[in-house]
Structure 1
């Protein structure tokens, strides 16, 4: 949409209405839509000037690549090229030729050609002889063009407020010039506010014919060329302009951006928008993408860059430490740097995105600089830590979720390995502390650590993200990998592994049944727990006898030395102890699917690789149990069905114990989230 000049109803007065035109189309294809309410026939003088400035004060282009019309250069300028094509030219014969040329290109097999006949027509009438490059201070770009008759003219486009500030005159519909009075400025500012509040990026267009010493400028040899070498002179050259109109460009956010912003809010990530756009435009876009709620008071959340830096340090810190999003409009490079610096000084981890040369210092200063891979300049890419291949904000949010998932999987691996190894240490310690016979021999422990534990530990790296991974607050940069609560969980699980491993060893020696499961089927003799813990005193026990029993394919006799019952006769008890250790560690790997998520929410089949790994580990254990020469090597024997049931009964509680610990972990995390919300409320 663009609003142009005034309609002149009489020789002396200007109507208080501006003309509005709606430009159809959402692509860079010049044939995609037209302009509603465009006058038929020749363009009036005002529209001609609009087209002339939009084309000549422009460094962009349009190409056809990969079955799409694409911009080369600044997308905003490329959009102006499309506008020029849709406006047409005032020469009807030339317009007919342009239309015929378009039809010929459209029907040809060579679709790489983009015919911009109207732009070429305006270029043929004027020649650019000098450029006043865009800068952040005056927020505009100017070119000096020379007509065929040798007359020079300055064409300017830029931020509407800045162009209006330097404009002294106004062009009307018929091309006549009137002085820009206070009422005219108010009407144009009202129109600007109306357009920018609709999230339109607005550009003001103006020109100047009285160029003084630049009226005869024709190149570097001209006496006035020295002034063009110093950008400080540009604002003076671009003064006393004739305002022509304004153009509002709609750059709609991608559909997925609003959802990504909501994900950031849930994840405790603050989104701060820093833009060079008009304040009203920036606020409208922020409301549209969800940085601000509808009806939210943003008086302390939306600032023009220079106004923010004019505040005291304490006021700036309070604004940046508040909750919710913020937006800083008409921002300059130093504003971006200062905001990033203050956030870092406050202990925040700052990720900065940008695409321009002026973004490079802030990208370098941020903890994580993210440059745009498509629209980004090489300077921005060099300064950044990451380059975003698709220029999509939602990709950054997806990367955050992926990073959290990787971190959680790393913790799951560590949690599984430490708790399992702690259990093995606990079993050895308890055996020694109680004075019982050694339950596990070194080769068995080595097998468990290097072979049986390996597949599940590896498979935990393929865990899917927790369902609430983007609802948890971000961890601080100084957070410990193993905090007090995590260590307590390791301790509890590890202790249970140790108790279960040693406990089943003791059960075989001291009980003929456990929870209705018969343990005496092999005919072994029972001893008291006291005898088991003082087995070293066995030679002094009077009348101690042990009945022969069968383990696997071998029958053990102890007629000569009954005390061998605690050494060579412990083979069945050792097998039970090793089997419990393997089973507990397999079930413990299921606990590691999620740090705090219940197995009811994230069942085992969410990670099929883990189920496969558990099958491999159990298969390896069955291999050494039921292949005779391997069983002999590892000092174990096959187990009966009743004994396997006992192994499972002793092993499964590790899941219930960790479910209880996860429940309390979720309550603690929820309490932390509430406290953070109250802190920043």
Structure 2
């Protein structure tokens, strides 16, 4: 059927119309489809048994009940209507916003993906509040929101109600109810601004041209990669290639893992370097002499640190990563918990290294004492690599073998340390001497004290005195 004129769909009007020629009567006829609550407003008649009948209150209520029945089954409901003209060249909105003949309803199923239910659950556990903003009928929105677990029972806020609300009431409604229906892009932007004004970090999804302002204004704008327009993609910070909400939750998990690993590496490097500094400062203050030569320090910083640091950067996500609240965006990577932990462990490293240096120096040469101190400091760092894997949880809770790269890195560091101590070239370059089994047992016993102290620190929950979150 040839189309002579068209009124395109808009999110404000919520309908579209096209003009054709009725092949039976030869007269112009407009076909209109859109949101049922809008279409029924424009109708004066209803098609029954092939003939137009006046649309009275009883028939209108019957249609509205059918709309709600469809919507309660999570169907996206659309309505169709038509109107004939004596003579019409171009279709105007005023032509189709009155006097229509209601033709019928149909429902389309757009079921949420199965993984969305688990994703919504994980998002909630992670402290992320999912808010559903849709142009669908309120009953449809409520049915889908219940199905995926956004809400159990609650109220749906409509676009008309949003027009009457201002911040902070709108932000409170978003957090309390979590479902908005029959909204326009302007409403979406209003909700976004109200949440941001209340200090919330907001990620917004969208796919249309009209979503661009909201995507641009969000802390993280997420455009749909499949259904999204180019304008939406340009305005966003991230593009969702599979248009799947579960992928957003996976991105949250990956982002937390990366940040956690960065904190692990920073904690390890700063704590071990502070241990070295404290060792030298204490030795000089007490007049013990230099416990390590410059080349020994260089070896510890480059080889031992390198072998242990790189594996910490690939630590897999811990099982509780999505069960802790989001971190404060104003919080430094070196927070109070990390500082307290450093203050506890760093002196142990310095005291153990200097204690063995002084002890062996009493009965042996300076070269021998420095070899013991050198190996002790390196051993402290092997155990500190295990400590760095988790801020709050025991290594046994995390799983000793969940990051085999750390064990491999420690193993490489041990083998290289043995080479430096026992090979002739290592002894020549580093000024070391061979150690006995008894020396090694004593070194491991002393160096493991840093691991024992950290395990007790976690077991006793001392971190709870300084941490806002006790997960991680």
TM-score (norm 1): 0.67
Aligned counterpart, 2:100: 241
- Post-superposition Cα deviations, 1:79-129, rounded to whole Å, max 9, x if no partner, equal xxxxxxxxxxxxxxxxxxxxxxxxxxxxxxxxxxxxxxxxxxxxxxx2111
Matched, 1:175 2:29: no
How much has 1:665 moved relative to structure 2?
Answer: 5.9
Tell me which residue corresponds to 2:131: 272
- Deviation per CA, 1:10-53, whole angstroms, max 9, x where unpaired? xxxxxxxxxxxxxxxxxxxxxxxxxxxxxxxxxxxxxxxxxxxx
Structure 1 unmatched runs, 5+ = 1-125, 218-224, 511-523, 525-548, 550-568, 675-681
Provide the aligned length of Structure 1 versus Structure 2.
Answer: 469
Which residue number in structure 2 is paired with residue 303 of structure 1?
Answer: 157
Q: Partner of 1:287 in structure 2?
A: 146
CA contact (8 A) 1:584 1:652 kept: yes
Match of 1:143 among 8, 11, 18: 18
Looking at structure 1, the residues matched to 215 and 325 of structure 2 have their Cα atoms a distance apart, in angstroms, of 24
1:588 corresponding residue in structure 2? 384
1:471 to 299, 323, 333: 323
Q: Give the stretch that moved more between structures: 353-362 or 412-421.
A: 353-362
| 2:131 maps to 1:256 | no
From the superposition, tell whether residues 670 and 441 of structure 1 become closer, same or farther in structure 2 (CA, over 3 Å). Answer: closer
Shift of 1:632: 2.3
Q: Is contact 2:46–2:54 with CA below 8 Å preserved after alignment?
A: yes
Hey, what's the Cα distance between the residues in 2 that align with 1:245 and 1:135? 21
Q: Deviations over 1:247-287 (max 9, x none)?
A: 11111100110111111111100111110000111011000
Say whether the 8 Å CA contact 2:337–2:467 is kept in structure 1.
no
1:631 correspondence with 2:419: no
Aligned partners of 2:413, 2:51: CA distance in 1, in Å?
A: 88
The answer on whether the counterparts of 1:596 and 1:665 sit within 8 Å (CA) in structure 2 is: no
What is the deviation of 1:673?
A: 7.3
Tell me what 1:497 maps to.
Answer: 349
Show the counterpart of 1:335: 187
Matched-pair contact (CA < 8 Å) for 1:626–1:637: yes
* 1:364-513 equivalent positions in 2, closer than 5 A: 364-510=216-362
Cα deviation for residue 315 of structure 1 reads 2.3
Conservation of the 8 A alpha-carbon contact between 2:35 and 2:77: yes
Return the match for 1:208 from 83, 92, 106: 83
Please state whether the residue corresponding to 1:601 is helix, strand or coil.
helix
Encode CA deviations 1:451-501: one digit per residue, 9 max, x unaligned: 121021011111011111001101122121111221111121111111111
Cα pair 1:422 1:491 within 8 Å, conserved = no
Q: What is the aligned partner in structure 1 of residue 73 from structure 2?
A: 198
Give 3-state SS (helix, strand or coil) of 2:8's partner: strand
Instruction: Quote the residue 1:104 is aligned against.
Output: none
Alignment CA distance shift 1:331-1:474 (3 Å): same
Shift of 1:332: 0.6
The answer to whether the Cα contact below 8 Å between 1:202 and 1:247 also exists between their aligned partners in 2 is yes
SS in 1 for 2:157: strand
SS at match of 1:625: helix
Worse overlay, 593-602 or 580-589: 593-602
Q: Secondary structure at the match of 2:20?
A: strand
Q: Distance in 1 between matches of 2:468 and 2:274?
A: 30
CA distance in 2 between counterparts of 1:313 and 1:200 reads 32
Q: Distance in 1 between matches of 2:410 and 2:164?
A: 63
Q: Is this contact kept in 1: 2:17–2:30, CA < 8 A?
A: yes
* Preserved contact between residue 28 and residue 86 of structure 2 (Cα < 8 Å): no
* Aligned counterparts of 1:652 and 1:396: Cα–Cα separation in 2: 41
Q: Is the 8 A contact 1:413 1:461 kept in 2?
A: yes
1:128 and 2:24 aligned = no
Look up the SS of the partner of 1:334 in the other structure.
Answer: helix
How much does 1:670 deviate? Answer: 8.6
> Given the superposition, is the C-alpha separation of residues 317 and 603 from structure 1 closer, same or farther in structure 2, using an over 3 Å criterion?
closer
For residues 366 and 271 of structure 1, what CA distance do their matches in structure 2 show? 15
Structure with higher Rg: it is 1
Post-superposition offset of 1:240? 1.0
CA distance in 2, matches of 1:356, 1:158: 17
Which 10-residue stretch deviates more, 401-410 or 333-342?
333-342
User: Please, what is the CA RMSD of the aligned residues?
Assistant: 1.8
Question: How big is the shift at 1:312?
Answer: 4.0
